[in-house]
Amino acid sequence: MKRILLILLFVFYSCAPAFAGDNIYFNFDYAVFKGEDGKSILEVYYSVNQKSLKHVKNGNNFEGNVLIDISITDGSNNNILFSNIYKTPSVLTDTANSNQKLIGQINYLLPKGNYKLKITGSDFNDTTKQDSFEGDLIIDNIEAPGIRISDIELSTMVRKATDDKSIFYKNTLDVIPNPSGLYGMNLNELYYYFEIYGLSAGNISDDFYLSYIITDLNNREIMSHTKKMKRAGDSKADYGKIKIDSLSRGSYVLKVSLTDSLKNVDINNEKKFYVFNNQENVVTQSGQNEFLKSEYITMTEKELDDEFEKMTYILSDKQISKYDDLTSVIDKRKFLYNTWAARDVNQNSQVLEYKVAYLKRINEATRLFQEYFKEGWKTDRGRIFVIYGKPDDIEKYPFNSDKKSYEIWKYDNVEGGGECVFIELQSTTGVYWLVHSTFRSEISNPDWQVQLDPK
């Protein structure tokens, strides 16, 4: 296992609004490309609003730093292969008016295998402010026969490189990643980059076709473009841009398809992205105008009720009663928009960043803690995860003849440090109940261990 502290190069861009406050929100993404000696290159991307960092005055400037902690674990034996910390500097001349975003990229060479990837971003000057991503990673055999399309990297810019030492350099290009997948505002062109492998004469004709299709989440085609390509080697890097200023707010999918009818080839890959505004020149406004430009204008009552249900962990009884009393769709739309907007510290931002971060935890809890017919975020573990975030440590104790299965979640920075205990009260069900917590608003039972008796 390697653990190192490095200074990482970075770039700024000012296409996204800045955010300041007690919380910090990172965007993480990754893509896998062909490397050397039978290995693949894992490119890890991150971004964070520079203004959300704590800066310390030094001379005429204000200085801060971001810490990125990456661990890669072998899924077959849980051995930690990499554990690295990267430090990225942030320098401002004015902490009040910075609208820049810090972007970084870190590369690893990995052989074929199954891995677990964990990324944590934090503020060096206030490590209680952090955000994380964790997921499974599958690296296929990059030398396998046949044609393959790499992951699609979403980008804010692809241009001819002037420095081959840039962290964003590949195939004579500078590819500036967009880890958030967010477009709109003043990002009205979606740049993309991907690679194609296995373009040998035996696999593909001299002429083949590449199609670029944008669909909504219901797989309805919104726009498409097809171009004819000529085979010029065993691999190819393809990149370009798509103008998306005609898209309404919402989630979309970019699909790339390679077809060759003579060789019976039809392969594809896809990447999800989001549009928050379709105007090229956005004038920051507030109140009614911002509501009218939000996604809530087109949301159905079913969508509104679903989102409200997911908000109940952070709403007061009075707010819940108020929503329940609403009878018109427009009033429900205004209620939800105003509730989220009130929680955002940066009132000039059109992106409801608190909402994005909260629903991100809802989605992750749904994925991690599904129990029978109960959605993961509605379970006890899911609720704690959504409210308090990911624990700093989880101690898992599987069932044995003397004790039921249980977990202890430990938090270092919530209420000065605390823990939550979950027990699988009915063995083999996979349903874990919160039986004890040291947090003020949760159940407290210092004698919780008596419930471990399997009899």
Angle at which helices 301-311 and 353-368 cross, to 10°: 80
0.75 cut: is pTM over it? no
Tens of pLDDT, residues 315-360: 888 899 999 999 899 999 999 998 988 877 555 555 688 888 899 9
DSSP 36-73: STT-EEEEEEEEEEGGGS--EEETTEEEEEEEEEEEEE
Q: Where are the alpha helices (DSSP H) in 293-374?
A: 301-311, 317-325, 329-343, 353-368
pLDDT of 424 higher than 70: yes
Residues 6+ apart with CB under 8 A from 414: 388, 389, 439
State the chain's mean pLDDT as an integer. Answer: 86
Asked if residue 210 lies in contact with residue 226, where contact means CB atoms within 8 angstroms, the answer is yes
CA nearest 243: which of 282, 275, 210, 211? 275
- What size, in residues, is the chain? 455
Sheet hosting strand 40-49, strand order edge to edge: 11-13, 101-110, 40-49, 26-34
Tens of pLDDT, residues 172-223: 999 999 998 988 867 889 999 999 999 999 999 999 999 999 998 778 899 9
Asked if residue 256 lies in contact with residue 149, where contact means CB atoms within 8 angstroms, the answer is yes
108: pLDDT confidence band, cut at 50, 70 and 90?
very high
Asked if residue 289 lies in contact with residue 297, where contact means CB atoms within 8 angstroms, the answer is no
The C-alpha torsion from 241 through 215 and 291 to 312, rounded to 10°, is -120
DSSP 92-158: ES-TTS---EEEEEEEEEE-SEEEEEEEEEEETTEEEEEEEEEEEEEE--TT-SS-EE-PPEEEEEE
pLDDT at 4: 31
Burial of 118 (0-12, 13-18, 19+ CB in 10 A): middle
Tens of pLDDT, residues 38-69: 999 999 999 998 888 888 989 888 899 999 99
pLDDT of 21 higher than 50: no
